[in-house]
Chain A
């Protein structure tokens, strides 16, 4: 086993076991923290597919997460208050399908345009589209606009109840493991090799006969759909959603997680999410200005530890 595999297993076992143990020993608060962490890790994992492996630096990923959350909130809202009968439901299956479908469709529409550009232009245009989604939701008064929307009833499934925090945690955790395995499968497949090749040398890939644009677009849609799923979980977790979830600073946080943890590794985004949540929680205990030490740390990692935490933890001596 490589060091990276060992690290991945250790991290995933800790993330899976520690929070429930703390919960059962009377520290319910930590389970809450961990559930949020795991859901953000799913979103970061989806971003890693395009940012880490595909070299597409999307600065608008929070939009997909927000769309996923509203795909839970809006049907639940209509179920309670009437109107829009076609989508008024509390069924988790319908809501998840909506979250994945609408987020994927949004990725397809925006990707068609965004992927015509590369580099800084790509960063700016993905951010612009995300801000458009933000302002669209903000302007719809029925769904609370700026004030946000309370989800009165969580998604309903046949076998599990998301009202039970431990069941919600395990649903998120299993989802994270599946998301990681899926991304791993995709990047190692023939499709994934083309996407990775296009990150290193798009001109070469085109000369070989690959239509790089189409491959990137498919990866972008998969990534957006996965982030939509994470959003559906996040909506169920917070039971309160607002346009603020789609703000560009949220997209930035997801980028931090991927880059800080270690881009183009399975476990990198998870470690990034752990570091982010831990720092946010504990630094904010000491000072309201917790972003300052956080920013300094991010700079240190970018400057001195290329490859993020995974790179730091798996580096062999003498190299």
Chain B
């Protein structure tokens, strides 16, 4: 690559918490840094919200609201926590409110028909047969129902632990509780999931 144009963002890359640096630059009026944060976290945020709400349109709507709130808060932003902790805290708050408001009230109905746009896993270069696809979709349906049946906080904890690969300490910060409370939530959640899904081995 040719001679690199040195930017402030370039300097920030060397700092450990890159996201916080980026957010501080957004606070200073650097719109491009907001774009970098969006590019980095768009997918994981939408996926988390999708698994929470089990409705793709609602998940994207909520993810937009999260980014909008991040952008609106730029002038008052203080790096008191990791950027992702802050972002997921906003997302969790919005998702739990939306669930209570019944925004995903059709989600349970959709469990039956919303799997058509899900990527079907492929083993190596072999395309799955119709039968394999049906088995996969049945399993997927069972997984989604099992997750949906978990109490809200247990669901958040499992999704962050399993899919976002967050440490207990970060989940605790997102949920504003102790690490031992998170472990307890996960213990109960996985116990329930084992009872429902262990036969899928």
Same complex origin of A and B = no
Partner-B contacts on A (CB < 8 A)? none
Partner-A contacts on B (CB < 8 A)? none
